[in-house]
Amino acid sequence: MQGFQRCDQKKCLTKVFRFTNFVAVGNVADLKISLPMSQQTYTPTHCPETGRKFTKAERKAANKAKYAAERAASKPKPKRKAKAQKASPKPKAVSVPTRKAKLMSMTKAELVDLIIGAEPPAPKRKPKAKRKAVAKGRKASPSERVADKQERGAHGAKGVGPIEPQPEGHTSDVKQARKATEAMGERNRRKHAKKLAMRWAFAPNYGGMFLESQQAELQRLLGDVDVSTYEDVMAAVL
């Protein structure tokens, strides 16, 4: 019961508030101002005479006409005229005297002082020549190395040129080869004998003559010659 009593009290209060608002309004103009915005711009949906429902296009046209009438009733504010800006005066061109005019205005004494006191212009330094960057060589890939090796085998070393095939096969000269090996062996024996003689001669136990074992080794290398001293060995070697 208490809940129903509270609801009835709320309804009575809302009714009284609405009635007091309606009574406080004096005339229709005040009523329009007191109404909310949605009710001020409200356009009826049905014709008051026939009760026919207006279409969407008719309501849109009525809204446009109403807005145009309100715009015509309100006086537009006059636009302010832009003030004409005064043109700023252009700066006068200043005449700069040329070098020739300056020289013509100078006296003879000033010209002589100018010529005598003029220092020769300093020589301009030439810019240092920049070194050109040397292009670094690229390492050959494994496939390129194999191709170079095959080319060297087919055409010979660099600078030799391609090897031309000969109709007859190359035959080696055995006598010439034997002579070359004998000469090379003799040169090698002399070099070895010279090294041994220098090492034994500068040893601390050298007494001016080589030992018998040392002389036998030197004779084996140099042949049947006198090799008792260091000077004898050098004479035989050279």
pLDDT of the residue at 196:
92
Average pLDDT over residues 36-63: 78
For CA atoms 226, 230, 232, 238, the dihedral sign is: positive
Contacts of 213 (CB under 8 A, 6+ apart): none
Percent over 70 (pLDDT), the chain:
70
Question: Per the domain annotation, does 195 fall within a domain?
Answer: yes
Residue 142 lies in a domain: no
In this structure, the answer to whether residues 226 and 205 fall within a common structural domain is yes
Confirm whether 53 is domain-assigned: yes
Same-domain status, 5 and 22: yes
What total of structural domains would you count in the chain? 3
Of how many residues is the chain composed?
A: 238
Residue 166 in this model has a pLDDT that exceeds 50: yes
| 218-236: average pLDDT | 90
**Same domain flag for 29 and 64:** no
**pLDDT at position 13 over 60:** no
Asked whether residue 207 is domain-assigned, the answer is yes
Lowest mean pLDDT among 27-31, 86-90, 116-120, 178-182: 27-31
Say if residue 56 is in the same domain as residue 9: no
- Average pLDDT for residues 10-26, to the nearest whole number? 43
Confidence of residue 157 (pLDDT cuts 50, 70, 90): low
pLDDT of residue 68: 87
Query: How many angstroms separate the Cα of 234 from the Cα of each of 143, 195, 220, 225?
Result: 55, 10, 15, 12
Retrieve residue 175's tokens: 């006598």
Whether the predicted pLDDT of 235 surpasses 80: yes
Taking residues 23-48, report their average pLDDT: 55
Of residues 55 and 13, more confidently modeled: 55
- State the residue range of the domain holding 194: 182-237
CA separation for the pair 25, 17 (Å, rounded):
13
| Per-residue pLDDT reduced to its tens digit, 109-148 | 888 887 777 666 677 788 888 887 777 778 889 999 998 8
What's the CA gap between 137 and 140, in Å, rounded? 9
More confident residue, 211 or 84: 211
What local confidence, expressed as pLDDT, does residue 187 receive? Answer: 92
Q: What is the arithmetic mean of pLDDT over 192-204?
A: 91
More confident: 186 or 131: 186
